[in-house]
Structure 1
Amino acid sequence: MTWDDLDAHLDSVPGTVSAYVGRLDAAPTWTRLPDATHYAASTMKVAVLVALHRAAEAGRLDLDQPIPVHNAFDSALPGAPRYANAQHYDNDDAVWARVGGTASTRWLAERMIIRSSNLATNICLAQVGLPAVAQAWALAGARHSLTGRGIEDFAARDAGIDNLVTAADLAALLGELALGASRPGPLASPAGCAAMLDVLFAQEHREDLAAGLPEGTRIAHKNGWVRGVRHGAGVVFPDDAPPYAIVVCTTTELADGGPTGEEDEDDACRLIAGMSARVWQARHDL
């Protein structure tokens, strides 16, 4: 299947599918609607991770210092009441078991990525602030992505304050992280970038991009999903070819009163896994 064939196939998929494929620090091999904005879902957590490590390297916080684990957060909408996360909407009971106690920011940041914990994300976001996350996006060269609020900040959401990403921006962020692990870059020191990559390598949700790769293939990645949205963004490290970035963002309009979205999510996972497999087959020619 050629890239044109893949484009033609995606033309028949309902909704919007964006993609970015290419070697690191080079022009992309193939893109599809790379600058189309999508609701970020949990992919924005990578930018929060970068902001945390930048703050730690600047001496503004200690990643290993225990902090309170709480469930009450200031809204991004001025004057709105504080909001809280819902445990049933989270993916990590381990963080909820710490509520009322303490945990290190490093541990919370890891749970934010590997289990995609929303509660851990909001605690980490409160540690660094939204401007620091915006700076992480900007330093990576992102042009359209933004993190305007915490997760489940419904007052801000209803006021139009949102979290958005593009395939190109996610590729830029992850690509800079991967490159920064071996040479000085804009995001963090090589040691800091390597530490963040290790967290992304440990990702436990592997049902989309990772599912399209041979068993044991190293991929530093983060995915995100809500009803009608499924994204996968990562850097793949083959043993027999240079590393490459792959990002697939899917947004499907679901009808009101329709199914729960589980079948749509399964379809999106299969689509992303299939695209990941296609890119893997072409890894020597990217």
Structure 2
Amino acid sequence: MNRSRIVFLTLALGVVLASCKSEKEKVKDEIASVLSAQEGTFAVAFHDLGTGDEILMNEHDTFHAASTMKTPVMIEVFKQAAEGRYSLQDSIVLKNDFKSIVDSSAYSLDPKDDSEYELYNQLGKKRTIASLVYEMITVSSNLSTNILIEMADGKKVTQTVRDLGAKDIQVRRGVEDQKAFEKKLNNVTTAYDLLVIFEKLANGEAVNPEASKAMVNILLDQKYNDIIPAQLPDSVKVAHKTGWVTGVHHDSAIVFLPDGRKYVLILLSKQLKDEKAGVEALSTVSKIIYNYVAQQKEE
């Protein structure tokens, strides 16, 4: 057999093998290609709530939770309200003094490091619990978060998501607890755990159907939209919570298509060298997943 024929047969075999790949495998390869171009570590968890179809990559790897932990905090607050411990319309005094989980020493937040700063001008005044939850999710207010974690108790937050099926997530502390940070007592998560939590929200199983719907509506008002929604059509609605610290960018979402279909998508990253490029890569992964789902309807 001459060399040219061998080359031809080799190429033909490659074409045949490529055509034998399922559409899901092709999508996974495309996602891997996009993410491998970035210096960093990534996790992807996708679940179609209608078909049960899934794409999972590094879904059990542990990541610093950053502000994705604020969704579990919201769930615990709604849970305690449903239990009658308080009403979401009850008022709470705004303060900026908190205790470290290490030794109960006092610390406070710097408004310059918060994504929401107007609340700091209202210290000593009252705001409803509902408004603090809204600020915690939609503009990722750290001040609101710390007040709510102190009220709800981080241990109870963790136990509640354990009960929902999220076995590895840990909500240990509020934001900027430096002593806890130095002892590596951080809030951590996995893509799989966030997938479980957002599935419960989407299916009306987080606290109860009414609470789940209210929480999803808050998530739909998210103001930071540079990852999962960034490259999607305007007709697609995304209920989501982002999270970021240095080298870390996350997004966790329920994606609603105009035809009524919906899916959950979790994108996590850490050790990013080029954060802007990393965010762009993650938003591209979101677009790939959307195109995959949209194409299934067309077929």
One fold, TM greater than 0.5?
Answer: yes
* Separation in 2, partners of 1:278, 1:25: 18
Amino acid aligned to 1:212:
Q
Q: Partner of 1:142 in structure 2?
A: 166
Q: Which residue does the alignment assign to 1:282?
A: 292
Query: Structure 1 unaligned runs (5+)?
Result: 255-263
Structure 1 pair 179–236 and aligned structure 2 pair: CA distance change class (3 A):
same
The match for 1:164 is: 188
Work out the CA distance in 1 between the residues paired with 2:163 and 2:119. 30
- Specify the code of the residue in structure 1 equivalent to 2:123: V
Contact 1:95-1:111 at 8 Å conserved across structures: no
2:278 matched residue in structure 1 = 268
Structure with more helix by fraction: 2
1:221 to 224, 240, 245: 240
Q: How does 1:1-286 map to 2 (within 5 A)?
A: 2-24=27-49, 27-77=52-102, 79-180=103-204, 185=205, 187-240=206-259, 242-252=261-271, 254=273, 264-284=274-294, 285=296
Alpha-carbon distance between aligned partners in 1 of 2:83 and 2:227, rounded to the nearest angstrom: 35
Offset of 1:63 from its aligned partner? 1.2
Cα offset for 1:27? 4.9
What corresponds to 2:7 in structure 1? Answer: none
Task: Tell me the secondary structure at the aligned position of residue 181 of structure 2.
Answer: helix
- Aligned partners of 1:152 and 1:52: how far apart in 2? 21
For 2:133, the aligned partner's letter is A
Shift of 1:253: 5.3
Letter in 1 for 2:235: G
Q: Do the aligned partners of 2:35 and 2:281 also contact (CA within 8 Å) in 1?
A: no
8 Å contact 2:35–2:282 — kept in the other structure? no
Q: Which segment drifts farther, 83-92 or 236-245?
A: 236-245
**Deviation by residue 1:108-130 (Cα, 9 ceiling, x = unmatched):** 00000000000000001111101
Change (3 A) 1:26 1:217: closer
Partner amino acid for 1:70?
K
Residue 150 of structure 1 aligns to a residue whose secondary structure is coil
- The answer to whether the 8 Å contact 1:25/1:175 transfers is no
Q: Is the 8 A contact 1:18 1:34 kept in 2?
A: yes
Q: Mean alpha-carbon deviation: is it higher for 103-112 or for 25-34?
A: 25-34
Q: Offset of 1:250 from its aligned partner? A: 0.7
SS in 1 for 2:115: coil
Q: Residues 28 and 157 (structure 1 numbering): CA distance in 2 closer, same or farther, change over 3 Å?
A: farther
2:269 aligned counterpart, secondary structure = strand
Higher alpha-carbon Rg:
2
- Aligned partners of 1:18 and 1:32 also within 8 Å: yes
SS of the residue corresponding to residue 76 of structure 1 reads coil
Normalising to structure 2: TM-score of the pair?
Answer: 0.86
Residues 63-122 of structure 1 show CA distances to partners (whole Å, capped at 9, x for unaligned) of 111111000112111x24111111001111232222121101110000000000000000
Give yes or no for contact 1:39–1:165 (8 Å, CA) kept in 2: yes
Contact 1:145 1:164 in 2 (8 A): yes
After TM superposition, the structure 1 stretch with the greater mean CA deviation from structure 2, 205-214 or 3-12, is: 3-12
Confirm or deny: 8 A CA contact 1:51 1:133 kept in the other structure: yes
Kindly tell me the number of residue pairs found equivalent between the two proteins: 271
Question: 1:38, CA displacement in angstroms?
Answer: 0.6
User: Which stretch shows the higher mean deviation, 135-144 or 22-31?
Assistant: 22-31
Tell me the distance in 1 between the aligned counterparts of 2:286 and 2:229: 8
Give me the CA root mean square deviation: 1.7
1:160 Cα shift? 2.3
Contact conserved, 1:20 with 1:28, CA < 8 A, in 2? no
CA distance in 2, matches of 1:227, 1:174: 25
- Structure 2: runs of 5+ lacking an equivalent: 1-25
CA contact (8 A) 1:80 1:155 kept: no
Runs of 4+ off more than 3 Å:
25-28
